[in-house]
Structure formats: C-alpha cells, structure tokens
A and B are shown apart, each in its own frame.
With several copies, the nearest count.
Chain A
Amino acid sequence: MVYQVRIPVFEGPMDLLLHLLDKNEVDIYDIPIALISSQYIEYLSMAEEIDLELTSEFLLMACTLLSIKARMLLPKRRPEGEEILEDDPRMELVQKIIEYKLYKDIAGDFRERELNQSKLFCREIDEAGLLKQFPPANPLGNVAIADLLAAYGKVLRKIERRREVMSIAREEITLQDKIDEIIYALAQNPGGLSFHKLFTGLTQRSEVIVTFLALLELSRRGLILLRQNKLFGDILIYFKDFKGGLESAHTVS
C-alpha cells in the first residue's frame, strides 16, 4: 500500500527544535536531550526519504545535539567523590532557542502588520506633474558626478550580492549527493579509500560536516567498513564485501 508522507517544512534547525519542544511539551530548561535528538534525527531521515533537501545547518545541529547528549552521559562526579561545578551542557543551546523564539514571534507580529498595512493606500507623489508646475533651475539639482558614481557603485554591489547568493545556492551539497560521491569513489578505489584524502581540498565547513555524516550514514546502513592499521594512522574505507585481514585490523566502525 502506498501512503503519502506529509512532513512539515522548517525554516532552519532552530525552527525544527522549537517544533519538537512544543510537540513534546517539555520544559525548555530541562530538555530531555536523548528524546529530542532522536526525534530530530528521525525528522532528518524522513526528510531524506522524501528527497526534501535540507541545508547543512540541519546536520550541524544534529552534531551539536549528539555532542550534548554525549557530554550529559559523562560522570558528574570524580572518582574521589569530589563535586565538579560544571555548567549544564544544554545551557548554551537553551539560550539560543529562547532568543530565536523571541524573533520568530516578532516575525509573526510583523506578518500581521504587513497584512494590515497592505490594505492601506497612500498617494504617490506626482513628481512629473510637480516638475511641470515648479520647474527647477537646474534639472540635476544638487546632484554631482560623485553622486552618480556612488549610485553606480551601489548598483554593482547589488549585482555582486545577487551573484554570491546564486553561487552559494549552487554549492550547497546534500547528504545524498555526498553519499553517491563516496560510493563512486569507493568503486574507483577497491584497495581502500583514504579517509584523509576524502577530506583534503574541502574548504567549506558545511561540506566537511556533510562528508563526515555521509560516512556515518553509510556505516550505519552497514555498507562500508572503516579500517585503521595503526593507532592515529590513516583510516581506509572499504565496501562491506571486502574480505581481507579484518581480524588483525583495528576497526573503528
């Protein structure tokens, strides 16, 4: 039976987090981090299944949640029983969520204002008519060549900004793209793909994160094996059907 999956679309990771906190009716100062992070990651995989492209910031937040979860698992006491005054690892995130929620609410207020205001019409100044009625001595007024140049500069900057936005949009890499890319590279390197080489030449932080998450995902699905021949040595990546001396290797998958 085919059923349609409907999932809401979020503005960004903060928006998704807020939604999950609302849905679970949890106290923002005591976020059940394990629950929220698993629901968060569940959303990401649902989005992936229906080919909803998410920006790398969603993945970055997944990393943050998992890192907080890991820190929460660390023992709060030293073996001698001495108390450690450590900050709640969730605090920084909580502050950010509160601040984001504030502006999201104001954006809602702005939306209402925009709607109300769109029903009001004012008169446009009839500049052409007024020019006829009160012709200025100098049609350029006090405009000098420097003003013209400044205006042209502003136009050129606008073009530049539009171009930047377009190129950023083009360079955005999805998790699925990266997974495909790695699978292709694995096929090209049956003798093992260097973990180190996989990351060299990546300049964007987002791409590094996506690459790392792609490896985790492939490993979770049991498609690859990671092998490290010596401690702190390079890690080699293989397809799962690879059969060579695994027993002796220090696997990290």
Chain B
Amino acid sequence: MPTLFPKDFKSVIEALLFVSGEPLSAQQISGILDVDEQDVVVLLKEIKADCERENRGFFLLEIAGGFIFSTRAEHAEYIEKLIKPRLNTLSQAALETLAIISYHQPVTRSEIEEIRGVKCDSSLNTIMERGLIDEAGRKEAPGRPILYKTTSEFLKYMGLKSLDDLPKIKKDELQEAVNES
C-alpha cells in the first residue's frame, strides 16, 4: 500500500526509468505505482523538463510508445573514452562462455549453464552481438532448444584456420591444468 506523496511518485518513476534497460510505457509505470496513467504522463513530462532545464547528463527519450533515459550525443566522445577499453576486452563470464562454446559446439544454453554452474544469458548476448557466435539450428530434444556455434569471424580474429587448430586438450593435460592453476 503506497503512502507516498505525489512529489515522491516522480522520484520513484525516475528510479524505474533509471534501472530499466528497456523503454517503459506510461501504462507499465501506472501499473507498478498503482497510480492513474494520466498522472504518470504529467510526471513524465516534468521529468523530461527537469533534465533539460538542469542540463543533466542524460535526457528522457520517447521511443516506440515508451520512455527511456539516454545520454546526449555531445557527450559521446567522453563516453567512448570510458567504454572503449572495456569493449576492447571480454568479461571473464563472456570469455568462459566463449571457451565452452568453442570446445563443445554445437551446444545449447542450458548445457553451457550446466558446465559453468551459473546463468549466462547476458554473456551469450555480448558475444553474439560481437559476431563471435551464431545460432546453429535446434537440438532434437524436448523444447527444441537453440544450438550455438562459433563463427568464421571468431576463427579469423583468433588467428585460426579451422576449429581443428584449437589447442588440443588431452585428458591428462587437462587434469594437470586442473591441479596446477
């Protein structure tokens, strides 16, 4: 049971927009807050005006029936400086997912998660977005899950002629690797 004053609703809406990676519609917000959709629209307009007046680092963008905070084009050069080094490397999670796919392909998401012991939706997205993996049809199994494989881009940038060039991992070497590091 919300006991917030209207002023606080604006703050909650800002918070929702802030954490959401996807555009939020006035209808969605009104459902979460249990507030009239018209009131939400008014508050969204206020938030938009606040961002402009105070020249904040981001503004409220209206797209496809939803609202999302977005950074300003004139700040792109600084954002690039921050982000470039990070895009130039893969996170440990993405690297592990890529390693599993390269040695086990074609492989389903749940098989990867089984091996890693954790969820990997986001790291799959990342390496897919980079064009390092691609879908490879569906597995003939219940639910017909999607299979993943590495791409020719992956081979090219790894400097490999084919998948056969991937360093072989022998059972006992593997065991040593397990024992050593």
**Are A and B subunits of one complex?**
yes
Binding site for B on A (CB under 8 A): 11-14, 21-22, 27-29, 55, 57, 61, 96-107, 109-111, 113-128, 130-134, 136, 138-145, 147-162, 164-165, 168-169
**B36 on the A face (CB < 8 A):** no
Chain B contact residues: over half helix, strand or loop, or mixed?
Answer: helix
Are B103 and A103 touching (Cβ within 8 A)?
yes
CB neighbors of A among B90-107 (8 A): 90, 92-93, 95-96, 98-100, 102-103
For A118, the closest partner residue in chain B by CB is B86
Most buried by B among A12, A120, A130, A132: A120
Question: Would A102 and B117 be within 8 Å (CB), given that A148-B99, A153-B177, A161-B125 are in contact?
Answer: no
- Chain A residues, CB < 8 A from B86: 118, 125
**B49 on the A face (CB < 8 A):** no
For B90, the closest partner residue in chain A by CB is A143
The distance in angstroms between the C-alpha atoms of A94 and B99, with both chains bound, is 20
For B87, the closest partner residue in chain A by CB is A136
- Chain B residues, CB < 8 A from A109: 167
- Chain B residues, CB < 8 A from A154: 92, 96, 181
Q: Which of A111, A115, A125, A159 contacts B21 (CB 8 A)?
A: A125
3 A-B pairs with least C-beta separation: A125-B21, A12-B118, A152-B99
**B85 on the A face (CB < 8 A):** yes
Question: Would A152 and B100 be within 8 Å (CB), given that A12-B118, A121-B70 are in contact?
Answer: yes
Question: Would A131 and B99 be within 8 Å (CB), given that A107-B92, A153-B178 are in contact?
Answer: no
Q: Which of A14, A61, A113 contacts B116 (CB 8 A)?
A: A14
The distance in angstroms between the C-alpha atoms of A148 and B103, with both chains bound, is 10
Are A156 and B177 touching (Cβ within 8 A)?
yes
Most buried by A among B22, B95, B122: B95
Are A118 and B85 touching (Cβ within 8 A)?
yes
CB neighbors of A among B113-156 (8 A): 115-119, 121-122, 124-126, 128-132, 153-154, 156
For B159, the closest partner residue in chain A by CB is A117
Q: Which of A116, A155, A169 contacts B115 (CB 8 A)?
A: A155
- Chain A residues, CB < 8 A from B99: 103-104, 106-107, 110, 148-149, 151-152, 155
CB distance from A93 to the nearest CB of B (A): 10
Tell me how many residues of B have a C-beta within 8 Å of chain A: 64
For B17, the closest partner residue in chain A by CB is A123
Chain A contact residues: over half helix, strand or loop, or mixed?
Answer: helix
Question: Would A157 and B98 be within 8 Å (CB), given that A123-B21, A134-B80, A145-B167 are in contact?
Answer: no
Most buried by A among B124, B157, B174: B157
Are B118 and A11 touching (Cβ within 8 A)?
yes
- Chain A residues, CB < 8 A from B45: none
Are B76 and A102 touching (Cβ within 8 A)?
no
Show 21 A/B contacts (Cβ-Cβ < 8 Å), sorted by A: A14-B118, A28-B178, A55-B118, A101-B181, A103-B99, A103-B115, A106-B103, A107-B98, A111-B95, A122-B61, A122-B69, A125-B22, A130-B19, A130-B79, A131-B129, A134-B80, A136-B130, A141-B89, A142-B89, A152-B169, A168-B121
CB distance from A39 to the nearest CB of B (A): 17
Most buried by A among B15, B96, B121, B157: B96
**B44 on the A face (CB < 8 A):** no
Question: Would A158 and B117 be within 8 Å (CB), given that A136-B88, A152-B100 are in contact?
Answer: yes
